[in-house]
Amino acid sequence: MFDLTGKVAVVTGASRGLGRQDALTLASMGADVVITDVLVEDDPNLQQTAESQGSMLAQFAVSQGWVHSNATAEAIRQMGRKSLAIKMDVTNRDQVREVFKNIKDEFGKIDILINNAATLDHAAQIPNQSYELWDRDVKVNLTGAFNCTKEAWPYMVENHWGRLIFMSSVAGTLGGFGQASYSSTKAGLIGLAKTAALEGGRHNITANAIAPGIIESEAGKAAAANNPLYERFKARTVFKRFGQPEDIANTIAFLCTEEAGYITGAVIEVAGGIPLFTA
């Protein structure tokens, strides 16, 4: 059970954090995995690339040495799977189209797409939300996932099999104070996932959204350090602790299996019970 041998997966935003763990977990279950990210450690202009994204988090990831695109691909190859790390900007439609075509040519097919790439550094109440960062977040978080889904779609239809995962958030199901752009785009991904589920059923393509709570990735740990708000968030979970990247990756991996073939259009919260009304 739960064997992905022979499947080809693409994970966007997989240089670090949840995307990286997703890729490693899929590979551990037998899948060949393509790592895509705008940040790749052998990019001679890595710092400039990070700065061009208009993301403080991307720049912080570079400064902290959190970029592991090639290293993740190598770790997957050490498992005996096939893997590549490819620099790709999900907002660049021509580039996305070319990358997905090259993956199809190199790997023979595309079975699984994990839409993980996202921005997460725009924190301000609505009167102070930046127009520029709002537009950026929509472009990366929502339109980027659409771009990748659109390019992967015909290859899944061709195989009459596919698994689409959209990385939403409890900010998308509950709203997020000071997170108008982030929560709106994450809510939009739920609508996109449900539409893909409706349209994909006739092609044996499932589409589901994952809504994580606060997860102790590199960025999650950095954000929580010395921030009293995060102690309140932790107290809202029924376990009184934050989740681990493996909690998300294991859920995603299951949804990609044959055994999960009747699950589609679902929004699965992996949040330790944060949405529950607790005392």
- Positions annotated as catalytic residues are 182
Q: Are 94 and 173 in contact (CB under 8 A)?
A: no
> CA 179 to CA 143: how far, in whole Å?
18
Q: Minimal CA–CA distance to 71: which of 106, 24, 5? A: 24
> CA 190 to CA 133: how far, in whole Å?
21
Residue count of the chain: 279
The SS3 call for residue 272 is coil
> CA 35 to CA 61: how far, in whole Å?
17
Residues 6 or more apart from 6 whose CB is under 8 A from it? 30
Q: Distance of alpha carbon 109 from its chain centroid, rounded?
A: 20
